[in-house]
Chain A
Amino acid sequence: GAVVSQHPSWVICKSGTSVKIECRSLDFQATTMFWYRQFPKQSLMLMATSNEGSKATYEQGVEKDKFLINHASLTLSTLTVTSAHPEDSSFYICSASTPIAGITDTQYFGPGTRLTVL
């Protein structure tokens, strides 16, 4: 149980284009989803928190107009990297959390999406 998927698993795009990454909770309803960024050989940095049906809350230093997050349903959140540039190349990981299990601070992570911007 508690499986989270991401699509695509990797994507290469040209500078200036936009890329959308999907995060789905497959067997549970996720009231909260999180988006992280991981640089090579580094730790995960939280980018934003999204609750279903409301606007995402971004961490300090994260450009909300560049990283658009939509959490339209209890099983789907999307991250759109707009006007991507090479410095946006990274590993993006989502996670999902639900209070249904009675544990509200356990996050279940997706496999990640590797974005390369040329």
Chain B
Amino acid sequence: AQSVTQLDSHVSVSEGTPVLLRCNYSSSYSPSLFWYVQHPNKGLQLLLKYTSAATLVKGINGFEAEFKKSETSFHLTKPSAHMSDAAEYFCVVSRGRNTGFQKLVFGTGTRLLVSP
């Protein structure tokens, strides 16, 4: 079964400092991995997606993530945080082929707090 573990429920950074949101995955085959962001009272927005192409994936708003098979990780990073980055971030994996690869399994989320 596919699963993701987000290692931090909350991450606090100062504006202008780097962001690191950690995610480890478990999958019986090469997965598709995603990062979504959810701002308060808004829908989820796709930040980036990995699908077995380049291991370093660049997304929107300056975010990127690196797929590391040996570490089963897919951490999200950004060089310099903005106040507008404060939101909930979800690491997501596609569920197994036998049950329909479109189904997504969400991590528990990491709330990013950005202070001035």
Contacts and interface: CB of A to CB of B under 8 A. Distances in A.
Given A43-B90, A44-B90, A105 B46 contact: no
Contact of A97 (B45, B90, B102, B106): B102
A90 interface: no
B106 A43 contact: yes
Nearest to B6: A43
A112 B43 contact: yes
Interface size of A as a range: 20 to 34
A105 B94 contact: yes
**Interface SS, A side:** strand
A110 B49 contact: no
Interface string B76-96: 000000000000001000100
Interface of B: 32, 34, 36, 41-46, 49, 51, 90, 94, 100-104, 106-109
Top 3 A-B residue pairs of the complex, sorted by shortest distance between their CB atoms: A111-B43, A109-B44, A43-B106
Interface of A: 4, 6, 32, 34, 42-46, 49, 93, 95, 97, 103-112
